[in-house]
């Protein structure tokens, strides 16, 4: 049995905690939800005296500016005993909006039920979140600038690929949106497609620009660019699996691709999208040893090989873009050339 002295000690301890807490605390009656008590911190935060609050609802005072939201929150507390808002605005008596974390729960106290609301100001946290978001945006911008520079290096070595990666990126991203892919998938597609041919920096320029058919040894050297691109990028950390995407962008779902003859589900979606965009762009662009085959021929190629070489969902999205939605590849600044799509 708890002694009276012990109860008094517990009560005094609770009162000290209530008064000294560095978070706002409101006690509300149950089930009506009118304020019974408020600690000094919340009074100071909101600019009210205790007499201003006691007996009233927060939305009556305008502290919760959305009366409907306040009433719905109260209903939830009564029915479920708990509610939490990670970020909501309270309005002070002086008309200042203060962002807070707002948590309410009901519990038994002295033989009756009360509602306790704990309110933590998060102004500094929100400022830190904004600062972090800005810093992350700067980092992302720097990453794209680096990727653009790498893309320019690749295209400078091979004039026939000028604009190729840009055009593949544009189409691949459009396919991603058409498929309603997750934002992280689309950004991975955007990032990887900008430099999907980065491995070509290790291929002799005379092979890249050779105006006649390549011999078997030269074909093997050219096909090594997927693996070389992977080796270049695998030490780097990106928010997306860029190195794997580049390694796989010449794989085909029937296992006939390279460098690892992957099949179906073993190929990541981003690589499947770039494979289709790469093929369409390559076939519809001029090469040193033949003119463009035209966009119709390119679309017929992926359609004929849907479910064989190319993912059928990716092909369907690409065909819909061109045939139903009027999509067109961006204009190239010069002739484009991508030898590997049909090798």
Rounded Cα distance, 272 and 264, in Å: 9
Widest pairwise Cα distance in the chain: 100
3-state secondary structure of 29: strand
C-alpha 297/C-alpha 288 separation (Å) is 18
How far is 229 from 235, CA to CA, in rounded Å?
11
| Model confidence pTM above 0.75 | no
CATH hierarchy code of domain 4-122 = 3.30.450.20
d(CA 150, CA 133): 26
For CATH 1.10.3210.10, the residue range(s) in the chain are 133-342
pLDDT at 152: 79
Location of structure tokens 């105006």? 211
Residues of the chain with pLDDT under 70: 1-11, 14, 159-162, 287-289, 332-343
Tens digit of pLDDT for each residue in 18-52? 888 899 999 999 998 899 999 999 999 999 999 99
In the 8-state DSSP scheme, what is residue 330? P
Reported as type and span, the H/E element at residue 189 is helix 183-194
Residue 101: the pLDDT is 94
- CATH 3.30.450.20 intervals, the chain: 4-122
Domain 133-342 fold is Hypothetical protein af1432 (1.10.3210)
Cβ atoms within 10 A of the Cβ of 279, count?
25
Task: Give pLDDT, residue 9.
Answer: 62
Residue 286 CB-half CA count within 13 A: 11
Nearest to 121 by CA among 103, 100, 102: 100
Residue 188 burial (CB count, 10 A): 26
């Amino acid at each position: 049995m708890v002694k009276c002295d012990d109860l008094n000690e517990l009560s005094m301890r609770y009162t000290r905690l209530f008064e000294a807490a560095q978070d706002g605390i409101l006690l509300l009656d149950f089930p009506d939800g009118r304020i019974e008590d408020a600690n000094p911190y919340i009074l100071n935060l909101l600019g009210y005296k205790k007499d201003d609050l006691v007996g009233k609802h927060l939305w009556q005072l305008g502290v919760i500016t959305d009366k409907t939201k306040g009433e719905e929150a109260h209903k939830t507390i009564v029915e479920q005993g708990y509610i939490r808002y990670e970020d909501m605005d309270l309005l002070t008596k002086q008309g200042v909006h203060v962002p807070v974390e707002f948590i309410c729960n009901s519990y038994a106290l002295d033989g009756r039920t009360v509602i306790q609301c704990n309110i933590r100001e998060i102004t500094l946290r929100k400022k830190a979140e904004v600062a972090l978001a800005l810093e992350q945006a700067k980092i992302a911008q720097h990453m794209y600038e680096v990727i653009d520079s790498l893309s320019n290096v690749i295209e400078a070595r091979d004039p026939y690929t000028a604009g190729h990666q840009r055009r593949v990126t544009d189409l691949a991203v459009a396919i991603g949106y058409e498929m309603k892919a997750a934002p992280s998938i689309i950004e991975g597609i955007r990032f990887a497609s900008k430099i999907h041919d980065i491995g070509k920096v290790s291929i002799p320029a005379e092979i890249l620009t050779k105006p006649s058919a390549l011999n078997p040894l030269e074909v093997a050297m050219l096909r090594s660019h997927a693996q070389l691109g992977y080796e270049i990028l695998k030490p780097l950390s990106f928010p997306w699996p860029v190195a794997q995407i580049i390694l796989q962008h010449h794989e085909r779902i029937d296992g006939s691709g390279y460098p690892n003859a992957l099949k179906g589900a073993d190929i990541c979606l981003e690589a499947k999208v770039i494979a289709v965009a790469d093929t369409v762009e390559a076939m519809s662009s001029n090469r040193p040893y033949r003119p463009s085959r035209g966009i119709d021929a390119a679309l017929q190629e992926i359609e004929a090989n849907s479910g064989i070489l190319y993912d059928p969902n990716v092909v369907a999205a690409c065909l819909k873009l061109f045939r139903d939605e009027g999509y067109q590849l961006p204009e190239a600044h010069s002739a484009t050339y991508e030898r590997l799509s049909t090798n």
